[in-house]
Amino acid sequence: MDMQQNDDGSDVEKYYVIEQKNLIQLLKLSIKNFIDFALSLTSGLEEEEGTLYQLFVVLEQILKHGLKDKNGLLGLTARTDFYNVIQIVSKDLEWTKDLLESISNMSHLRTFTGRGRAFLRLTMMQKKSHILFMEIVSNIDKVRALYHPHALLLAEEAHIISGLLVGLNVIDCNLCLRDRDLDSLPQVVQLSRYLRDGNYLDSPTPPPSPQLDTHKQDYQNILEQKSYVEEINEKLRLDFLVVEKKSKMFQQDNDMLMKEVQNMKSRIEELTSERDCLRQKMDQSEDAYRRKMEVEKADIAVERETYEASRQGLNELYLLAKEELVNANNKVTDLERDIEIERRIKSDLEKANGLLEKELLDKEDTIVALRKQCADVKKLNLSMLNKVQEADKKLAEREVSLKDMESRTVQSSSEMTDLVNIT
């Protein structure tokens, strides 16, 4: 069973390959038949005759080959139209925008199929059929989901299609699509046109005359020259578009650079004015600083002179204060010596008083007898007491003067210290 299924699958694939080859062969035959017919004409093709119609039928069959069905409403299935493929691929192409707009303005076309057929005819008239199929094959990933794997456009032979259609550029087509019913055209490939004995019912064609062959050859040469010139013009047009695009880019860059230059000029002017203002302010500040430095130098000179004078005066004051300090120290020494003497006298008096008191205590029993002597002694004591009081008073005065001298000495020492620190 597995072998049978594999055989069936391989047979189906073979059938698909045969279908693809048949379509390619039909395309080659239809293109050859159409070119032969067009070369026999003395002017461009202005109406859609049988060979051109068969070419459009084959192109439509190629676009429809392997299209998937899509699910519709109520579970019904509907086949995807090849115009959807054209719309998806043409969405990002500049040269197809005008064609799509023209087709949308054709109100008599009601179906996608009719619009797709009109698109094929418009590309034929503009000699861009090969570009259309080349774009479809190049961007097949965008429409891969719409096709089955056996579709011709997904096969390697799809690249041959655009190369076969390049030969159609030697033919001028001016077809009228206005009010033409493209929605219901029958899509039948007339194989009798391509078979050797297919046209046996038609009347035999007379043998061509040498003059007609000469005219055909001349016309073919002219058409070849025309196609060559058209290719050159197309190349020049593409080069012109590239140059124009570059020119626009350069113009935009130039405008941007001009704006930047203008902005830089205005910025330079602002910076120049700011520099001039800063330079003026700097000059003013330098003049003010110079004047201030001159005033400061003059003040420093005056202060130096004042300092020298005050230093000399302070030195004199220091010497005077030093002499006064020496004198004060001498006076303090004398006062301390006097105070020491007074203290000794006072101690002596105290000792004498002690001795007297001791004697009085020792001689209490002789007091009565010596009252007279006691009175004298009392007088003597009173006189001595008066002297002691006077001596105490003098001592207190000397202590006050000593404290005054000490405060003066401390003040003089502080003044001397301040003078030394100042110097």
DSSP assignment of 365-376: GGTTTTHHHHHH
Please report the pLDDT score of residue 3 as a whole number.
Answer: 39
Distance CA 119, CA 114 (A): 9
Please report the pLDDT score of residue 82 as a whole number.
Answer: 86
Please report the pLDDT score of residue 295 as a whole number.
Answer: 87
Residues 6+ apart with CB under 8 A from 384: 349
Task: Residue 180: count other Cβ atoms within 10 Å of its Cβ.
Answer: 17
Residues 6+ apart with CB under 8 A from 155: 20
Residue whose C-alpha is closest to residue 169's, from 235, 94, 239, 83: 235
Residues 6+ apart with CB under 8 A from 100: 87, 90, 119
pLDDT in tens, the chain (423 residues): 343 444 455 677 888 888 888 889 888 888 888 888 877 776 667 667 778 888 888 999 999 888 887 655 444 445 678 888 888 888 888 888 888 888 888 888 888 888 888 898 888 888 888 888 999 998 888 888 888 888 998 888 888 888 888 888 878 877 878 777 788 877 777 676 666 544 444 444 444 445 555 655 665 666 666 666 767 777 777 777 788 888 888 888 888 888 888 888 888 988 888 888 888 888 888 888 888 888 888 888 888 888 888 788 788 888 888 888 888 888 888 888 888 888 888 888 888 888 877 776 776 777 676 677 667 777 887 888 888 888 888 888 888 888 888 888 888 888 888 777 776
Distance CA 238, CA 245 (A): 10
Residue whose C-alpha is closest to residue 412's, from 328, 287, 301: 328
Please report the pLDDT score of residue 395 as a whole number.
Answer: 85
Query: Buried b vs exposed e over 60-75: b needs ≥16 C-beta within 10 Å?
Result: bbbbbbbbeeeeeeee
Q: Is the pTM of this model over 0.85?
A: no
Residues 6+ apart with CB under 8 A from 132: 86, 89, 90, 96, 120, 123
Please report the pLDDT score of residue 5 as a whole number.
Answer: 43
Distance CA 186, CA 188 (A): 6
Please report the pLDDT score of residue 204 as a whole number.
Answer: 44
